[in-house]
């Protein structure tokens, strides 16, 4: 029996053949940019939440599994990854979006697409969470510099050859330039 105060979230695969629920708050919430998460999701990253295994209950349907991840046998949607003591649920498989679950960390940030920014307040890991040496501090509101990403060089700010050293930078640099000559 579920207590009135306990949060119960339901979810399903795409065809709704597999349904499940998780009870209570997750242990942690994150996103991952690793190759396996990219391949299994078909996206540039996976957003997930981890609950204790006993908080997960599959209600209907049939699943098959590959590499610890379960999939609906009809539509192929990823359902859950069940480990010894934890259940990893993809946030997108939960019903009633948007979710109130906010990622606290990012994994494999060296594989993050260059057009994606680091999540503010999320701890950044170069690989898996268990590799404690790979964490960097979370960004704070007001941080002006981009978060360094291992393996990627920060963009170099080239000096403007048309600007004198004491001159303020022009906020619209193309405004006063002549168009290039065509030869």
- The pLDDT score that the predictor gives to residue 161 is 58
CA–CA separation, 1 and 75 (whole Å): 31
pTM, 2 dp: 0.68
- The pLDDT score that the predictor gives to residue 18 is 97
Tokens of 89: 């649920």
Residue spans per domain, the chain: 8-136
Q: Are 6 and 24 in contact (CB under 8 A)?
A: yes
- The pLDDT score that the predictor gives to residue 138 is 47
CATH of domain 8-136: 3.90.1590.10
DSSP annotation of 35: H
Task: List the strands of the sheet with 105-107, edge to edge.
Answer: 63-66, 69-72, 78-82, 86-90, 46-52, 28-32, 105-107, 123-125, 135-136
Mean pLDDT by 10 residues, the chain (183 residues): 74 97 97 91 93 97 92 94 94 93 95 93 90 51 43 51 56 50 48
Q: Are 136 and 124 in contact (CB under 8 A)?
A: yes
- The pLDDT score that the predictor gives to residue 172 is 55
């Amino acid at each position: 029996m579920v207590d009135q105060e306990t949060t119960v979230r339901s979810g399903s695969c795409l065809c709704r053949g597999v349904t499940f629920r998780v009870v209570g708050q997750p242990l942690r919430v994150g996103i991952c940019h690793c190759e396996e998460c990219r391949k299994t999701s078909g996206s540039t990253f996976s957003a997930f939440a981890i609950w204790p295994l006993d908080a997960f209950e599959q209600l209907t349907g049939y699943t098959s599994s590959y590499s610890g991840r379960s999939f609906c046998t009809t539509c192929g949607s990823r359902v859950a990854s069940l480990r010894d003591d934890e259940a990893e649920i993809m946030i997108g498989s939960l019903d009633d979006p948007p979710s109130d679950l906010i990622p606290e960390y990012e994994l494999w940030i060296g594989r993050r697409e260059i057009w994606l920014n680091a999540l503010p307040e999320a701890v950044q890991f170069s690989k898996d969470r268990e590799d404690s040496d790979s964490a960097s501090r979370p960004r704070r509101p007001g941080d002006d510099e981009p978060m360094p990403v291992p393996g990627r060089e920060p963009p170099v700010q080239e000096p403007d050859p048309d600007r004198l050293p004491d001159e303020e930078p022009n906020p619209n640099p193309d405004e006063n330039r002549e168009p290039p000559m065509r030869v």
